[in-house]
Structure 1
Amino acid sequence: MKALVFATDVGYGNTKSAFARGAEIGLQMFPSLAPLATNSTLSQHGGGYLKTRDVITVTVEGSRYEVGPDVTITTPYGDTGRTLSEDFVTTPNYTALLAGSLQYAGVTEVDRLVLGLPVHTTPMYSEYLRDRYTGELDFGDTRIVVRNVMPLPQPLGALVSFSQYGGDQFDPGNSHLIVDVGYFTTDWVVARGFTMDDSRSGGVPGGAAKIYQHMAALIAKAEGVAVSGIERIDECLRENLPMLFYGKDLDLRPYFEEARSLCHATVKEMQSRVGRAEDIRSIVLTGGGAAIYAPFIRTAFPRTTVHMMESPCYANVRGFYLIGSAHHARGGKR
């Protein structure tokens, strides 16, 4: 299938995509986990009683990786294929996740591929993404042709989504502060209409994973044994369930309440860059970790209205698709 515009936000937590599906915008999401593929096929021989996992295998630099909605979140020694580093976009895991997003949508040809970057790494990696993913991409059994790559700062997608879907909450004549709390980074943009204020915009490492990692350390201290990964902590918190840990059903709420104090340092950094909020119409929260950081942001900016975007996980990639479509319609090269 050929796509005029395909938008992908390969985040540290989840990989989200937006593309044309008839007259609507199609959306898809799966965990940003890309472990090395297993050679086991036992589930295919279960006589109908074992469910086959919804994953695909992609080849990157000679190695096979599994990606998809049913990718395993636990492994014998904790290597789930998640990458939490600022050079994430240069890793084979990132390439595998991008390949998976294209293959799940059935795309073999893209005129304009829109990709997101954290604000503070956008200057470093924009040209890298253009060079790396323009042309014919070979993922083993699949080849995909990409004619143009358009990297964008992640909160810019949320800003455009807010302008499109925020109704009368969006005031183009005054500034808004868009805050994207991701899995590994927190990014923010101050913009009046669609004009960014570079001096007040920025980003820092520090998202939901920072909280989960500290929770894992607290659990390890209390239980006397290490926690092998943070993926189950994330899943149990989202589903409001206890976490099974060596036969015990752990109540995660006390650990969460203690760990979330780490949000304070990240929010103070943002507050110092943004400065006084007297000229800001509203603060718009998006990203998978928005609900965790919301109380601290409200405390930091007590006189400014705070909006939580609907379906915050998809806000960036929806905006990316709208930006890419508008740019494509104008025939722009960059």
Structure 2
Amino acid sequence: MKTPVFAIDVGYGNTKYAYRAAGGTIATGMFPSLAPLAASRTISNYGESVLPARKVATIRIDDVEYEVGPDVALTAAYGNTGRTLADDFVLSDNYTALLAGAFHFSGVTQIERLVLGLPVHNMQRYSAELKERFAGDLSFGQARVRVEKTIVVPQPLGSLVLASSNRQNEFGRDSAHLVIDVGYFTTDWVYANGFTMDDNRSGGVPGGASQIYQRIAGLISKDQGEPVDDIERIDKALRERTPFFFYGSDIVLAPYVEQSQPLINAIVKEIQNVVGRLPNVRSIILSGGGAALYASAIRKAFPRVLIEIIDAPCLANARGFLAVGEAGLARDRK
């Protein structure tokens, strides 16, 4: 399948993608950013006539096979789920495997513009390498795709563009907005007048939703007297607002989130130190998988500023990246 623009937000927590489907609708997809090594033997296939097959793909990177997809295992015997939490994640084979998974599950084979995002503090360090690495003819075993050109944008810019599509009259050149993107491993923010970023008041720091999950895991471990390694299941329980099941007990997570508030407050204070009091900002746009966790602290920090939490915040950047790519492609074609 050929598509003019394909947008991928390979986050530390989840990989999200968006493209324009037949009829002009926007198609999206999401799966965990887990890329464990593929099993050397498979027994699940023998039961396919009775049990449904898992939705996973085997991706080959330099003769090493990884498993990615919506049904990839969230747990592992000794905690090695294939999650990468490192600043140079975008250069890892895990990142490449997740990118290839997005190509595979969407079915795209030819792309005019591939749009990727980076945390704000990594833009200068890694953007040029990503543009070169993921352009041309790419092959990852099951996933093969031709990419004519790759562009890289700051992750929160996707949410800014998406928010503007609903309130276009509020995003003029003299209208200031602050976008805060609470990701899995990093929290990034962009201060913008219209769509012009203010570099001095934009930034990002390690410390996203995963630090809260790890804190919750530590608190549960202390209460239960057993180690808790399943931060992926904690993430899923919080997103779906369900209890966390542990050794026969349904554990309500809200009290543990409250006990983790000092970690959230520290990140929000860092944002305050960079952006200031915001008397001229029309709104704070909150996105990312950890948006709900941070919303209360951000409201307390900026009580007089309108705060908008984007619908389906996990997919906000991918959908915004698509709009950025389509606008750029339209300009190039003129």
Q: Under a length normalisation based on structure 2, what TM-score does the superposition of the two structures give?
A: 0.95
Identity within the alignment, %: 54
3-state SS, counterpart of residue 220 of structure 1 = helix
Q: Which runs of 5+ in 1 are unaligned?
A: none
Give, as a single letter, the amino acid of the residue that structure 1 aligns with 2:260: A
Asked if residue 299 in structure 1 is aligned to residue 297 in structure 2, the reply is no
Q: Is the 8 A contact 1:5 1:19 kept in 2?
A: yes
Distance 1:166 1:57, change over 3 A: farther
Cα deviations by residue, 1:238-257 (Å, 9 ceiling, x for unpaired) = 22222222233323222221
Q: Which runs of 5+ in 2 are unaligned?
A: none
Cα deviations by residue, 1:207-232 (Å, 9 ceiling, x for unpaired) = 11110001111122222221123011
Asked if residue 15 in structure 1 is aligned to residue 12 in structure 2, the reply is no
3-state SS, counterpart of residue 78 of structure 1 = coil
User: RMSD between aligned alpha carbons?
Assistant: 1.6
Residue 242 of structure 1 aligns with which residue? 243
Superposition deviation, residue 140 in structure 1: 2.0
Cα deviations by residue, 1:12-43 (Å, 9 ceiling, x for unpaired) = 11111111102112111111111111244333
Distance 2:167 2:77 in 1: 45
3-state SS, counterpart of residue 147 of structure 1 = strand
Distance 2:169 2:214 in 1: 39
Residue 91 of structure 1 aligns with which residue? 92
Q: Is the 8 A contact 1:43 1:51 kept in 2?
A: no
Residue 107 of structure 1 aligns with which residue? 108
Asked if residue 312 in structure 1 is aligned to residue 313 in structure 2, the reply is yes
Give, as a single letter, the amino acid of the residue that structure 2 aligns with 1:308: I
Asked if residue 69 in structure 1 is aligned to residue 53 in structure 2, the reply is no
Q: Is the 8 A contact 1:172 1:192 kept in 2?
A: yes
Q: Is the 8 A contact 1:162 1:170 kept in 2?
A: no
Give, as a single letter, the amino acid of the residue that structure 1 aligns with 2:212: I
Cα deviations by residue, 1:176-227 (Å, 9 ceiling, x for unpaired) = 1111111111111111111111111111111111100011111222222211
Distance 1:297 1:84 in 2: 25
3-state SS, counterpart of residue 107 of structure 1 = coil
Cα deviations by residue, 1:34-87 (Å, 9 ceiling, x for unpaired) = 111124433322263322111111101211111111111011111111111111
3-state SS, counterpart of residue 151 of structure 1 = strand
Give, as a single letter, the amino acid of the residue that structure 1 aligns with 2:21: R
Distance 1:59 1:14 in 2: 20
Give, as a single letter, the amino acid of the residue that structure 2 aligns with 1:311: A
Residue 323 of structure 1 aligns with which residue? 324
Distance 1:4 1:116 in 2: 18
Q: Is the 8 A contact 1:215 1:256 kept in 2?
A: yes
Give, as a single letter, the amino acid of the residue that structure 1 aligns with 2:85: L
Residue 36 of structure 2 aligns with which residue? 35
Residue 44 of structure 1 aligns with which residue? 45
Q: Under a length normalisation based on structure 1, what TM-score does the superposition of the two structures give?
A: 0.95
Residue 208 of structure 2 aligns with which residue? 207
Provide the aligned length of Structure 1 versus Structure 2.
332
Q: How does 1:97-176 map to 2 (within 5 A)?
A: 97-166=98-167, 170=171, 172-176=173-177
Give, as a single letter, the amino acid of the residue that structure 1 aligns with 2:49: G
3-state SS, counterpart of residue 236 of structure 1 = helix
Distance 1:40 1:244, change over 3 A: farther
Distance 1:265 1:83 in 2: 23
Asked if residue 217 in structure 1 is aligned to residue 205 in structure 2, the reply is no
Distance 1:47 1:132, change over 3 A: closer
Is the deviation greater in 108-117 or in 138-147?
138-147
